[in-house]
């Protein structure tokens, strides 16, 4: 007797597996990966996936029957489940958590048809109702086609849509026969690939000779050296050999840009995009096409490592140093680079990493495995702008309220007056940094988190950047009652306002995560900036990456010190990367670029290397420090966070676990190779009312140490009031 193990997604229970009887008529057809319908308690019939088979079920349980196979085409294979199982083991989390992150559960909810693909046919709309006009307007602003979510709107929308179709204004495609939006773009002729330059050609052949390496290959090329064109040539070869390519970018905006570029070179029918915010219909569509091997190139953000691309011949991870490849919260806290490596091994395909500022560990491994390829010149010898440093100790006081120095002001107006565009980086959102009482010195903190609240002039509120709590500005200091509260420091909002005040005649816009209340608002602004509708773009690190606008001649960093002082072993690396990346936005075309860093610490080493744009020099200093203190790549780090609403309880459980861990380590004689740090309060010691303590494990035994640690962690049971988060290879330790 064989039973099916199915995975069910239930509101109160979350995602879980249960056993079901297989009716005889289904026995031949049923397969792993199929979506099915099963009876579930009082909920009636619910959607589920077949994830396995079992011969045994616990005694005394009444087994119900599978009601229906919703779709005989499976959505994933056993091999795919094996990969997820590996991920669960590696990240010390359970299989279902990984499955839930990997497979969009909405995929199986086929009865909930919520989306339509709509094409605008006629846009002369005299005589239409207001609602009808609104819909047409939306279609127009989204381009030729748009998705209308009927569930989130009034029922009448559906009627309106039908009416519009009857009147010949639009054409509605069938429900869920949703075509990847790329195929709805105008089918433009395919552009030929560029002839590679001598340097590119050399790197291309170098990479070709290493495609069988089991270790990642790394292409270190300065910004605009033409890495992407090298990738394209490699992609072409892979596709011609009949295999497929997975191409990851660190975030959605970059993935979208990349997809367009790929579609122009390889044709829209072979290219698809995958990231967390494509719509459910689109996910369903792309997923099926991937599974049926109808897509040759999949571009996407980190979650695309879980998309079921078949027959992979090459995986490329661009801007591989970006921490966005690591999911920090919630679990699974996976790193797309680690999974991609596994996936590549699975398919016996090469993994190619690329960056202008590689991750220190990636560089170290590539160097030692002889898998490093370098391009140190920009394509066509365009000049890399050498950043100049403005020492704010000299300029800060005398100039414009100490925020934008006189020299930077002058450069800004010179650039804009000559029709060029400017990027100003301020890597902190909000208006100010903190609000302080001038009489007793206390800083206003979030009542639930141990960090200062940040004043936002936009909504006239104090906001917590961790839990999003908002408070009105108090009239009096909560500690001493004085009314001398003042905002100090600056964030993007303040810079934006200052710039607008300074240059009322220029068009200024701001990009940071606060503007993301509207989905993809930043993509819209970036498009406007590309079209020269914005003169000055102020923003956080969101504007430092990927922007390829040849009309940008000036990049100013308002406070280049921000970031270097964070108490994390990667602070210098991150600071260096950010400054180098943002500097790379200047002078990408025929116009010479200029980069200005405002700083209070002009002598700091990471800062000096960023200034000279010298990655090797930075690497040499940094790798020595890593070795001295046993940080990655000389160890692997596991981080355990214990948290509780009760400070004492959190600390106590952290201490108990650390003690047990130390005892075990001694018992196994691993003392020299597994170093325990803590427990200590996390640097952000309270978030959302939860007190947080952390234990860091520096593991110098690598795989063997990892196995030991995960075994130990799997054996832990905790009281209900204590939460444990395990972060393997954490991207930060705050």
Complex with ligand ADP: residue 247 or 287, whichever CB lies closer: 247
Question: What is the C-alpha to C-alpha distance for residues 187 and 152, in angstroms, rounded to an integer?
Answer: 32
> For the window 371-400, what string marks contact with ligand ADP as x by the rule CB under 6 A?
--------x---------------------
List 197, 609, 643, 685, residue binding ligand ADP (CB under 6 A): 197
List 221, 300, 350, 587, residue binding ligand ADP (CB under 6 A): 221
3-state secondary structure at position 365: helix
440 is a contact residue toward Zn ion (CB under 5 A):
yes
Single out the residue of 385, 358, 386, 383 nearest to residue 371, CA to CA: 358
We find the least distance from the C-beta atom of residue 485 to Zn ion, in angstroms, to be 8
364 is a contact residue toward ligand ADP (CB under 6 A):
no
Q: What is the CA radius of gyration of the chain?
A: 28
461 is a contact residue toward Zn ion (CB under 5 A):
no
78 is a contact residue toward Zn ion (CB under 5 A):
no
Complex with ligand ADP: residue 195 or 603, whichever CB lies closer: 195
477 is a contact residue toward Zn ion (CB under 5 A):
yes
101 is a contact residue toward Zn ion (CB under 5 A):
no
Complex with ligand ADP: residue 3 or 379, whichever CB lies closer: 379
> For the window 539-558, what string marks contact with ligand ADP as x by the rule CB under 6 A?
---------x----------
List 100, 160, 225, 421, residue binding ligand ADP (CB under 6 A): 225
Complex with ligand ADP: residue 351 or 453, whichever CB lies closer: 351
Span of 137-145, 180-188, 223-231, 282-290 interacting with ligand ADP by CB under 6 A: 223-231
Question: What is the C-alpha to C-alpha distance for residues 385 and 557, in angstroms, rounded to an integer?
Answer: 14
> For the window 264-293, what string marks contact with ligand ADP as x by the rule CB under 6 A?
------------------------------
Structure-block tokens of residue 562? 């921000």
Question: What is the C-alpha to C-alpha distance for residues 166 and 153, in angstroms, rounded to an integer?
Answer: 21
Single out the residue of 150, 147, 51 nearest to residue 103, CA to CA: 51
Single out the residue of 273, 257, 269, 265 nearest to residue 309, CA to CA: 273
462 is a contact residue toward Zn ion (CB under 5 A):
no
We find the least distance from the C-beta atom of residue 273 to ligand ADP, in angstroms, to be 18
437 is a contact residue toward Zn ion (CB under 5 A):
yes
List 136, 290, 351, 446, residue binding Zn ion (CB under 5 A): 446
Number of other residues whose CB lies within 10 A of the CB of residue 145: 18
We find the least distance from the C-beta atom of residue 686 to Zn ion, in angstroms, to be 8
CA-to-CA separations, 53 to 58, 76, 98, 543, in angstroms, rounded: 14, 15, 19, 49
We find the least distance from the C-beta atom of residue 36 to ligand ADP, in angstroms, to be 45
In this structure, the dihedral spanned by the alpha carbons of residues 329, 330, 334 and 340, taken in order and rounded to 10 degrees, is -100
List 97, 223, 490, 685, residue binding ligand ADP (CB under 6 A): 223
Gap between the terminal Cα atoms of the chain: 52
The runs of H, that is alpha helices, within 176-330 are 181-184, 198-208, 227-240, 252-266, 280-291
- Name the phi and psi angles at 120, rounded to 5: -90, 125
> For the window 480-509, what string marks contact with Zn ion as x by the rule CB under 5 A?
x-x---------------------------
- In the numeric block, the tokens 């608002």 are attached to 521
Single out the residue of 307, 292, 298 nearest to residue 343, CA to CA: 307
631 is a contact residue toward ligand ADP (CB under 6 A):
no
Question: Would you say 78 and 32 are in contact if contact means Cβ atoms under 8 Å apart?
Answer: yes
Question: What is the C-alpha to C-alpha distance for residues 303 and 318, in angstroms, rounded to an integer?
Answer: 14
Number of other residues whose CB lies within 10 A of the CB of residue 438: 12
Question: What is the C-alpha to C-alpha distance for residues 575 and 110, in angstroms, rounded to an integer?
Answer: 46
- In the numeric block, the tokens 């010390």 are attached to 92
Q: Which residues pair with 35 in a beta bridge?
A: 49
653 is a contact residue toward ligand ADP (CB under 6 A):
no
Span of 225-233, 494-502, 659-667, 691-699 interacting with ligand ADP by CB under 6 A: 225-233
227 is a contact residue toward ligand ADP (CB under 6 A):
yes
We find the least distance from the C-beta atom of residue 382 to ligand ADP, in angstroms, to be 8
Complex with ligand ADP: residue 228 or 487, whichever CB lies closer: 228
- In the numeric block, the tokens 């009887």 are attached to 21
Question: What is the C-alpha to C-alpha distance for residues 277 and 284, in angstroms, rounded to an integer?
Answer: 13
- Number of residues near ligand ADP (by CB under 6 A): 15
Structure-block tokens of residue 224? 């605009």
Complex with ligand ADP: residue 38 or 314, whichever CB lies closer: 314
Classify residue 375 by burial, with Cβ atoms within 10 Å: 0-12, 13-18, 19+: buried
- In the numeric block, the tokens 């109808």 are attached to 294
We find the least distance from the C-beta atom of residue 204 to ligand ADP, in angstroms, to be 10
121 is a contact residue toward Zn ion (CB under 5 A):
no
Looking at residues 228 to 247 of the shown chain, list those that interact with ligand ADP (rule: CB under 6 A). 228-229
190 is a contact residue toward Zn ion (CB under 5 A):
no
User: Mutual orientation of helices 198-208 and 227-240 as an angle, nearest 10°?
Assistant: 40
Number of other residues whose CB lies within 10 A of the CB of residue 86: 15
Classify residue 182 by burial, with Cβ atoms within 10 Å: 0-12, 13-18, 19+: buried
466 is a contact residue toward Zn ion (CB under 5 A):
yes
Complex with ligand ADP: residue 337 or 636, whichever CB lies closer: 337
We find the least distance from the C-beta atom of residue 254 to ligand ADP, in angstroms, to be 11
> For the window 43-82, what string marks contact with ligand ADP as x by the rule CB under 6 A?
----------------------------------------
3-state secondary structure at position 275: coil
- Name the phi and psi angles at 248, rounded to 5: -105, 140
Q: Which residues pair with 372 in a beta bridge?
A: 218
Complex with ligand ADP: residue 576 or 670, whichever CB lies closer: 576
Span of 38-46, 182-190, 474-482, 669-677 interacting with Zn ion by CB under 5 A: 474-482
Binding site partner of 148, from ligand ADP, Zn ion, none, Cβ cut-off 5-8 A by kind: none
Span of 72-80, 148-156, 193-201, 505-513 interacting with ligand ADP by CB under 6 A: 193-201
572 is a contact residue toward ligand ADP (CB under 6 A):
no
201 is a contact residue toward ligand ADP (CB under 6 A):
no
- In the numeric block, the tokens 């209900």 are attached to 720
Binding site partner of 25, from Zn ion, ligand ADP, none, Cβ cut-off 5-8 A by kind: none
We find the least distance from the C-beta atom of residue 185 to ligand ADP, in angstroms, to be 20
- Using CB under 5 A, list all residues that contact Zn ion: 437, 440, 446, 448-449, 464, 466-467, 469, 477, 479-480, 482
- Using CB under 6 A, list all residues that contact ligand ADP: 194-197, 200, 221, 223-229, 379, 548
């Amino acid at each position: 007797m064989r039973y099916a193990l199915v995975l069910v997604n239930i509101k109160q229970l979350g995602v879980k597996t249960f056993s079901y009887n297989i009716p005889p008529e289904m026995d031949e057809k049923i397969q792993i990966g199929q979506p099915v319908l099963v009876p579930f308690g009082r909920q009636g019939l619910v959607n589920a996936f077949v994830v396995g088979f079992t011969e045994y079920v616990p005694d005394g349980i009444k087994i119900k029957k599978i009601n229906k196979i919703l779709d005989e085409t499976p959505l994933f294979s056993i091999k795919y489940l094996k990969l997820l199982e590996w991920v669960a083991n590696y990240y010390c989390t359970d299989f279902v958590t990984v499955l839930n992150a990997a497979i969009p559960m909405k995929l199986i909810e086929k009865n909930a048809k919520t989306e339509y693909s709509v094409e605008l046919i006629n846009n002369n709309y005299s005589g239409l109702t207001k609602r009808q006009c609104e819909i047409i307007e939306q279609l127009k602003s989204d381009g030729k086609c748009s998705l209308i979510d009927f569930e989130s709107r009034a029922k009448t929308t559906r009627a309106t849509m039908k009416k519009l179709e009857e009147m010949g204004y639009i054409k509605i495609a069938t429900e869920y026969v949703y075509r990847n939006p790329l195929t709805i773009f105008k089918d433009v002729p395919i552009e030929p690939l560029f002839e590679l330059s001598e340097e590119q050609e050399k790197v291309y052949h170098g990479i070709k000779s290493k495609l069988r390496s089991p270790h990642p290959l790394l292409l270190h090329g300065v910004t605009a050296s033409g890495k992407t064109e090298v990738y394209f040539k490699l992609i072409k070869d892979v596709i011609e050999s009949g295999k497929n390519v997975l191409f990851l970018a660190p975030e959605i905006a970059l993935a979208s840009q990349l997809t367009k570029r790929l579609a122009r070179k390889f044709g829209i029918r072979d290219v698809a995009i995958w990231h967390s915010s494509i719509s459910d219909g689109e996910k369903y569509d792309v997923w099926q096409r991937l599974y049926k091997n109808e897509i040759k190139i999949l571009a996407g953000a980190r979650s695309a490592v879980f998309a079921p691309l078949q027959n992979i011949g090459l995986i490329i991870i661009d801007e591989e140093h970006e921490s966005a490849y690591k999911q920090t919260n919630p679990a699974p806290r996976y790193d797309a680079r680690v999974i991609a490596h596994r996936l590549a091994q699975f398919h016996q395909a090469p993994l190619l990493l690329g960056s202008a500022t590689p991750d220190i560990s990636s560089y170290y491994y590539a160097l030692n495995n002889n898998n490093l390829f370098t391009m140190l010149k920009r394509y066509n010898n365009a000049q890399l702008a050498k950043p100049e440093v403005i020492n704010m100790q000299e300029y800060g006081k005398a100039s414009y309220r100490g925020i934008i120095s006189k020299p930077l002001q002058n450069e800004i107006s010179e650039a804009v007056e000559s029709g060029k565009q400017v990027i100003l980086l301020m890597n902190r959102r909000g208006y100010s940094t903190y609000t302080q009482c001038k009489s007793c010195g206390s800083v206003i903190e979030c009542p639930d988190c141990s960090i200062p609240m940040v004043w936002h002039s936009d909504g006239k509120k104090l906001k917590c950047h961790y839990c999003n709590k908002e408070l009105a500005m108090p009239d009096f200091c909560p500690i001493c009652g004085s009314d001398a509260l003042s905002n100090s420091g600056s964030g993007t909002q303040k810079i934006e306002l200052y710039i607008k005040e300074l240059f009322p005649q220029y068009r200024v816009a701001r990009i940071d995560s606060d503007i993301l209340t509207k989905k993809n608002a930043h993509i819209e602004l970036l498009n406007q900036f590309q079209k020269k509708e914005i003169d000055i773009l102020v923003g956080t690190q969101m504007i430092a990456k990927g922007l390829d606008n040849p009309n940008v001649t000036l990049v100013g960093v308002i406070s280049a010190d921000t970031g270097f002082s964070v108490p994390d072993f990667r602070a210098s690396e991150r600071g260096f990367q950010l400054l180098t990346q943002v500097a790379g936005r200047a002078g990408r075309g025929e116009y010479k670029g200029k980069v200005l860093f405002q700083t209070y610490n002009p002598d700091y080493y990471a800062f000096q290397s960023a200034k000279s744009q010298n990655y090797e020099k930075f690497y040499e200093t940094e790798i020595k420090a890593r070795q001295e203190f046993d940080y990655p790549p000389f160890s692997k780090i596991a981080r355990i966070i214990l948290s509780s609403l009760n400070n004492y309880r959190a600390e106590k459980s952290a201490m108990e676990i650390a003690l047990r861990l130390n005892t075990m380590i001694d018992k196994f004689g691993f003392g020299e190779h597994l170093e325990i740090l803590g427990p200590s309060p996390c640097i952000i010691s309270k978030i959302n009312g939860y007190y947080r303590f952390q234990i860091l494990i520096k593991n110098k035994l690598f795989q063997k140490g990892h196995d030991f640690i995960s075994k130990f962690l799997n054996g832990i049971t905790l009281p209900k009031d204590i939460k444990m988060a395990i972060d393997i290879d954490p991207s930060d330790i705050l």
